[in-house]
Amino acid sequence: MKINRKICKAGLKNNPNKPLRGIEYVTIHTTGNTAKDANAKMHADYQFGGSGTREASWHYTVDADEIWQSFEDTSACWHAGDGNGNGNFESIAIEICDNDKAGFALACGNAAELAAELLLRYELDISRVKQHFAWSGKDCPRELRSGVWGVTWAEFLEEVKNNMAKDKPSEWAKEAWEWGVSKGIIADDNPKLNITKEQAITMLYKSRQ
Is the four-CA dihedral 21, 27, 33, 37 of positive or negative sign? positive
Interaction residues for Zn ion, span 138-197 (CB under 5 A): 140
Please give the size of the binding site for Zn ion, defined by CB under 5 A.
3
Binding residue for Zn ion (CB under 5 A) from 43, 128, 132, 142? Answer: 132
Residue 86 or 164 having the CB closest to Zn ion: 86
- The answer to whether residue 29 forms part of the interface with Zn ion (CB under 5 A) is yes
Give the range of 4-12, 112-120, 137-145, 170-178 binding Zn ion by CB under 5 A: 137-145
Give the range of 9-17, 28-36, 59-67, 159-167 binding Zn ion by CB under 5 A: 28-36
Q: How far does the chain reach from its first CA to its final CA, in angstroms? A: 40
Residue 33 or 190 having the CB closest to Zn ion: 33
Max CA distance (Å), the chain: 66
Detail the DSSP E strand segments found in 18-59: 25-30
Amino acid at 122: Y
Q: Are strands 60-62 and 67-69 parallel, antiparallel or unpaired?
A: antiparallel
CB-CB contact of 140 with 30 (8 Å): yes
Point out which residues bind Zn ion (CB under 5 A).
Answer: 29, 132, 140
